[in-house]
Chains A and B, each alone.
Chain A
Amino acid sequence: MVTTSLKTQVVALEAPPVWLFEPTLDNYREALFEDGVLQTLINSLIIAISTTALALVLGIPAAFALARFEFRGKKDLWFWFITNRMISPIVLALPFFLIARNLNLLDRHITLILIYLTFNLPIVIWIVTDQFRGIPIELDEAARMEGASQFTIMSKICLPLAMPGVAVSAIFSFIFSWNELMFGLVLTRTDAKTAPAMAVSFMEGYNLPYGKIMATSTLIVIPVLIFALIASKQLVRGLTMGAVK
């Protein structure tokens, strides 16, 4: 993918593939600045980061409540979250399109953010709840005896200890939102067009600009790599935190 992105169209189509060639950045230049890939990358970034942030902000307290409090219908609620993910996204494509059109939400960031949130929130809640459950309840009790509120217990005691789970769910959420193609394609035109949707749109027409498609794909992969590296550091830090005893 990376090598093809550095080839000219002629070289890219040669068979057998050429290994030694004069690399060119033309594909990147054209894709980024002439075809508007830069804007779609920014769109993708806005949507993926917002989705992840919202999923964490909403998901962590929900997970804490599920892990620590007893209330009626807890099990049903717990299961309901995951049922949201059981629906095949393609089934929802048309309804979402119609709803978005009627609400005048087509081609807007917020539309994709909200839709991705429905898919990501369950993952965050499931992973983080499990993580919270793994934290000994004595820590909560000790903090309670010292006068900590439930919010303090969550934010100062449990959350730092649940970082591995939070990091994993953040990676999932980000990668899902970043790579998602179908809704990106269906619900956007130009303003909120995401990078994967852009990569696909090169395939329209009679010729396939392999170099540009590969350049765009490479650009799509890079932020995921960076994000995963940052998050995995959290992961390792969390794992070495040590147990109670």
Chain B
Amino acid sequence: MADLKLTKIVKSYGDVEVLHGIDLEIESGEFVVFVGPSGCGKSTLLRTIAGLERITAGTMEIDGRVVNNIPPSERGIAMVFQTYALYPHMTVYDNMAFGMRLAKKSKQEIEDRVRNAADILQLGPYLDRLPKALSGGQRQRVAIGRAICRDPKVFLFDEPLSNLDAALRVATRIEIAKLNETMPDTTMIYVTHDQVEAMTLADRIVVLRGGYVEQVGAPMDLYHKPANLFVAQFIGSPAMNILDGSVASASSGKIAVDVESGGKATVPIAGAGAKAGDAVKLGVRPEDLRIAGKGETPIVNGTIDIVEALGEVTLLYVQVEGHEEAVLAKLPGYHQVERGTAISLTADAEQLHLFDSDGQSMARKAEAKEAA
């Protein structure tokens, strides 16, 4: 049980500032995922929490205690590394017992805890093996087991799955989710660049970019209500289509948008916030696009460039005039369409996202209702 409070955390390496005043509160027992592109500072932030990096400014509190100058081993934290960091010359048992032996725990207690961790992770048969005799997934489980043995208040995972192959990654991800359920009081912080891991594991996601927090929220909040263009494009796969446009008319609760490439859309909006002629960006997720029926105003008109049929969905890459990147549409089921055919796409007004010229999201009407 531990809650964390990060206040204005700054981390610099020499003259280079990599974290620019991060504020974050994490509640006891929460599963929080830090996500962002490479170099966004997510691993650095995790390492400052671990105590492996000293923070340059700000305060870090665990359970109300300022830990800025407290060594990693006294913070009640355990960490699972991307490279597992198992001691290669020790058996699985010794790997897990190492920390407790240093802490001069009794033999019986060490034995009990190792057995317990081994049970949780089904490592029983491998306790006498050296790490080199284990598969990647087993090694990662040992690394997790070593962390469990420490009985930490906070569990840190630094991209634990990125060295595993696709199938193992799914299996281990599920194991981590189960582990989270068996240890409901333990706070878990998880770093990844994989948004599927983020979406499936997290209670809350922290999206980072360039050392700043872009948005914090539950996975579905980030998906439905991205705070800005970056989050909108980062969360969701394939990424959201962004179309340039301008405000045709704005009335209370509604903004009509002329899409640069010729389409039109009306977005329900809470409050005004825009006037006619303002440049805006219209965001629409590939999975929200559908082929426009008769009488419907298309948002996008273009020609099909590439068709990817995956069985359960068909991905269409649509070339749109004046738009560099192809607009991607994800249609359910199988669609018999040919390259080069003209196509018109539309989406429900409630599914559209509107961003101002600074890339900030304009509050949608649907959200306003939810909030009320």
Residues in chain A within 8 A of chain B (CB atoms):
136, 138-139, 141-148, 152, 156-157, 160-161, 241-245
> Which residues on the B side are within 8 Å of A145 (C-beta)?
50-52, 72-73, 77-79, 99
Instruction: Known contacts A144-B52, A146-B102, A148-B102; decide if A241 and B88 are in contact (CB<8 Å).
Output: yes
Is B85 positioned at the interface, with any CB of A under 8 Å from its CB? Answer: yes
- Shortest C-beta distance, A139 to chain B (Å), equals 5
> Which residues on the A side are within 8 Å of B81 (C-beta)?
138, 141-142
Complex Cα–Cα for A139 and B52 (A): 12
> Which residues on the A side are within 8 Å of B150 (C-beta)?
146
Is B130 positioned at the interface, with any CB of A under 8 Å from its CB? Answer: yes
Is B98 positioned at the interface, with any CB of A under 8 Å from its CB? Answer: yes
Instruction: Known contacts A139-B87, A141-B52; decide if A245 and B99 are in contact (CB<8 Å).
Output: no
Whether B88 pairs with A146 at a CB distance below 8 angstroms is no
Q: Smallest CB-CB separation from B82: which chain A residue?
A: A138
Whether A147 pairs with B99 at a CB distance below 8 angstroms is yes
> Which residues on the B side are within 8 Å of A241 (C-beta)?
88-89, 132
Complex Cα–Cα for A136 and B139 (A): 16
> Which residues on the B side are within 8 Å of A160 (C-beta)?
89
Other-chain contact of A136, B74, B85, B130 (Cβ < 8 Å): B85
Residues in chain B within 8 A of chain A (CB atoms):
50-52, 71-74, 77-79, 81-89, 98-99, 102-103, 130-132, 136, 139, 146, 150, 163
> Which residues on the A side are within 8 Å of B98 (C-beta)?
143, 146, 148, 156
> Which residues on the B side are within 8 Å of A148 (C-beta)?
73, 98-99, 102
Complex Cα–Cα for A212 and B79 (A): 66
Question: What 5 A-B pairs have minimum CB-CB distances, sorted nearest first?
Answer: A242-B132, A146-B99, A147-B73, A138-B85, A142-B85
- Shortest C-beta distance, A159 to chain B (Å), equals 10
Whether A147 pairs with B102 at a CB distance below 8 angstroms is yes
> Which residues on the B side are within 8 Å of A138 (C-beta)?
81-83, 85
Whether B131 pairs with A146 at a CB distance below 8 angstroms is no
> Which residues on the A side are within 8 Å of B88 (C-beta)?
161, 241-244
Other-chain contact of A139, B50, B71, B77, B85 (Cβ < 8 Å): B85
27 A-B contacts, Cβ less than 8 Å apart? A138-B81, A138-B82, A139-B87, A141-B81, A142-B85, A142-B87, A145-B51, A145-B52, A145-B99, A146-B73, A146-B146, A147-B71, A148-B73, A148-B98, A148-B99, A148-B102, A152-B102, A160-B89, A161-B88, A242-B88, A243-B88, A243-B132, A244-B84, A244-B86, A244-B88, A245-B83, A245-B139
Given contacts A139-B87, A147-B73, A148-B73, 19 further A-B contacts (CB under 8 A): A138-B81, A139-B85, A141-B85, A143-B87, A144-B52, A144-B72, A144-B73, A145-B73, A145-B99, A146-B73, A146-B150, A147-B74, A148-B99, A157-B87, A242-B88, A242-B130, A242-B131, A243-B132, A244-B85
Complex Cα–Cα for A199 and B168 (A): 66
Complex Cα–Cα for A148 and B150 (A): 13
> Which residues on the B side are within 8 Å of A146 (C-beta)?
73, 98-99, 102, 146, 150
> Which residues on the B side are within 8 Å of A147 (C-beta)?
71, 73-74, 99, 102-103
> Which residues on the A side are within 8 Å of B79 (C-beta)?
141-142, 145
> Which residues on the B side are within 8 Å of A161 (C-beta)?
88-89
Q: Smallest CB-CB separation from B89: which chain A residue?
A: A160
